[in-house]
Structure 1
């Protein structure tokens, strides 16, 4: 019978120290670019666990309650620079963003 490498690999990994998670790196992996009405947008999902505050959705005007998954969108091609675009970001219901309202 061939030796099992599976258990030995698990034991070796268990002895290695865990690296700290880089939250910024993990969340930035979900960020994407979209073009809407001729403008470039950065869009980043926010999970239920990350949604800690209430926001007003610019699409429907209704509240996005804490604990509700949604999207954050900001201009990627603004003329005032990245800092101004990021400070003007808005939280959208996912369905409102997809509907294009």
Structure 2
């Protein structure tokens, strides 16, 4: 699956006169802001990657970024990384 950025560029390349904002809106490519849905994605990622969670708790600075990347991948790059980090830090008591 292509990222939202790639999808927008593909549509722009077609030359149909649409703006990037129109394409994002039409194809529902906006960042996910639904906190409940993001919390579910974060929890599923935490549950599915116990080793990465252990690394985060050991204060490995790159491990939290790994979890953020996994959540974004699960959301097809639509999840807001700032909000993901906030949710993960809360769930992992950081």
Q: TM-score, normalised by structure 2?
A: 0.24
Higher relative contact order (CA 8 A, sep 6+): 2
Q: Greater Rg, structure 1 or structure 2?
A: 1
- Between Structure 1 and Structure 2, the one with more strand by share is 1
Q: TM-score, normalised by structure 1?
A: 0.23
